[in-house]
Amino acid sequence: MSQLSTKHLLGIKQLTEQDIRTILSTAAKFKEVINRPIKKVPTLRDITIANLFFENSTRTRVSFELAQKRLSADVINFSSSSSSVKKGETLLDTVNNILAMKVDMVVMRHPSPGAPHFLAKHIDANIINAGDGTHEHPTQALLDAFSMQEKLGDLAGKKVLIAGDIMHSRVALSNIFCLRKLGAEITLCGPPTLIPQGIESLGVRIEYNIEKALAWCDVANILRIQLERQNTKYFPSLREYALTFGVNKKRVESLHKEIVIMHPGPINRGVEITSDVADSKHSIILDQVENGVAVRMAALFLLANKGIEN
């Protein structure tokens, strides 16, 4: 099986198109594995993985842990709020202490952009970025691409809408890098205060009218409003946000065509998306969750293999 061009999965930006295709095709095989009666394979036996979560997470942590257990890896979990880490021990000290116990791979979520890149300069273990602040969330983008491909086939020329809080979203940035590399067209939609100045330079369009944006797309990836990452008021109220940018049944039904609805979760029901859309037949939100395990198994498998060879 072909390998990746990188030792770490820090972000989609560092991956080649071939890397992405390798991970997605490997994920397809693992998806078949996790649907067998016996879901576990011995692939990563003797590999020890530390899941370091310096920021709250439920679904990503569970998804990684499940992927690791399905591959028979030994898993240790470490959770800490960022503030206590910031005030006390440095990130480097924390991680070096854990690595001193002979850990092969690190899966890290951290509130600060570039934290895994910083770590990669100082430690030997393979690192998977499970989200670094407002920067990247590469496995999410990979599972989104995988889920889109399942529905639409090859993504070249497909029209993807990413709607919501672009500025505070690591999912948006990783999606942009990933989908551009796979040849999809991208439009962003949201309040101008939540769209970074000059983002068109990354090869995307901007549309401020959600109805026009929905009418244009094949897939709509609706992002969560990241209230926890906003220290400033970027829009006046959730009510007004829902009125202007919320994806609701009326807006979806007025399209006269089928579009695929996605959301990386957790959903603010009634804000960026209403329940009747999130739970509708157009929605593949739960498929995304299932595919997340397969994609993460693929990433872990490919990186660990590389590590052993080195």
Partner 1 sequence: MKYRASNVIVVDPTSSFNGKKTDIIIENGSIITIEDAGTTEGDFYEIPVNGQYVLPGLCDLYADFCDPGFEFREDIHSGADAALRGGYTTVCVIPHTEPVIQNKSQVEYVLNQSKQVLVEILPYGTITANLDGKEPTEMYDMHQSGAIGFTDAPYSIKDAGVMLRALQYCKPFNGTIFTLPFDKTLVGEGQINEGKISLENGMKGISNLSETLQIQRDLEICKYTASRLHFFGISTAESVGLIRKAKQEGMQVTASVFLHHLVFTENEAADFDTNFKTMPPLRTEKDKNALIEGLREGTLDAICTQHTPLDTESKQLEFEYAEFGVIGLETAFQAAYTYLGETLGMEKLVQLMSFQPREIINKPLSGIQKEGVANLFFFNHEETSIIETGNIHSKSVNTPFLGKTLQGKITGIFCKNEWLMF
- Residue 60 annotated as catalytic: yes
Strand, coil or helix: 2: coil
The Cα–Cα gap between 169 and 158 comes to: 22
Nearer to partner 1, 75 or 173 (CB): 173
From the CB of 114, what's the least distance to partner 1, in Å?
Answer: 3
Cβ proximity of 188 and 206 under 8 Å: yes
Site for partner 1 in 30-49 (CB under 8 A): none
Nearer to partner 1, 12 or 219 (CB): 12
| Residue 92, both tokens | 């480097």
> Of the listed 109, 135, 159, 168, which one is catalytic?
109
Using CB atoms within 10 Å of the CB of residue 306, give its burial: 0 to 12 exposed, 13 to 18 middle, 19+ buried.
middle
- Residue 109 annotated as catalytic: yes
Work out whether 233 is an interface residue with partner 1 (CB under 8 A).
Answer: no
From the CB of 115, what's the least distance to partner 1, in Å?
Answer: 5
* Binds partner 1 (CB under 8 A): choice among 13, 21, 69, 306: 13
Site for partner 1 in 158-187 (CB under 8 A): 170, 173
Work out whether 114 is an interface residue with partner 1 (CB under 8 A).
Answer: yes
> Of the listed 22, 26, 60, 187, which one is catalytic?
60
Residue 245's CB: how many other CB atoms inside 10 A?
Answer: 24
- Residue 45 annotated as catalytic: no
From the CB of 131, what's the least distance to partner 1, in Å?
Answer: 10
Site for partner 1 in 69-98 (CB under 8 A): 86, 90-92
Using CB atoms within 10 Å of the CB of residue 129, give its burial: 0 to 12 exposed, 13 to 18 middle, 19+ buried.
buried
The Cα–Cα gap between 33 and 163 comes to: 33
Which residue bears the tokens 């934290």?
115
Work out the angle at residue 209's Cα, subtended by the Cα atoms of residues 248 and 270, and round it to the nearest 5 degrees: 25
- Residue 239 annotated as catalytic: no
Cβ proximity of 295 and 63 under 8 Å: no
Q: Which of 212, 209, 208, 162 is nearest to 186 (CA)?
A: 162
Using CB atoms within 10 Å of the CB of residue 154, give its burial: 0 to 12 exposed, 13 to 18 middle, 19+ buried.
exposed
Q: What contacts 280, CB < 8 A, 6 or more positions away?
A: 249, 252, 261
The Cα–Cα gap between 259 and 60 comes to: 26
> Of the listed 7, 13, 21, 59, which one is catalytic?
59
Q: What pairing do the DSSP bridges indicate for beta strands 260-262 and 159-163? A: unpaired
Work out whether 231 is an interface residue with partner 1 (CB under 8 A).
Answer: yes
Work out whether 227 is an interface residue with partner 1 (CB under 8 A).
Answer: no
Nearer to partner 1, 63 or 169 (CB): 169
Work out whether 112 is an interface residue with partner 1 (CB under 8 A).
Answer: yes
Work out whether 201 is an interface residue with partner 1 (CB under 8 A).
Answer: yes
* Binds partner 1 (CB under 8 A): choice among 33, 99, 118, 215: 118
- Residue 87 annotated as catalytic: yes
* Binds partner 1 (CB under 8 A): choice among 36, 153, 156, 232: 232
Nearer to partner 1, 90 or 254 (CB): 90
Q: What letter would DSSP give residue 209? A: -
Work out whether 51 is an interface residue with partner 1 (CB under 8 A).
Answer: no
The Cα–Cα gap between 61 and 51 comes to: 8
- Pick the stretch among 24-32, 106-114, 237-245, 246-254 that binds partner 1 (CB under 8 A): 106-114
Residues found near partner 1 in the complex (CB under 8 A): 13, 86, 90-92, 110, 112-115, 117-118, 132-136, 170, 173, 196-199, 201-202, 231-232
Annotated catalytic residues are 59-60, 87, 109, 137
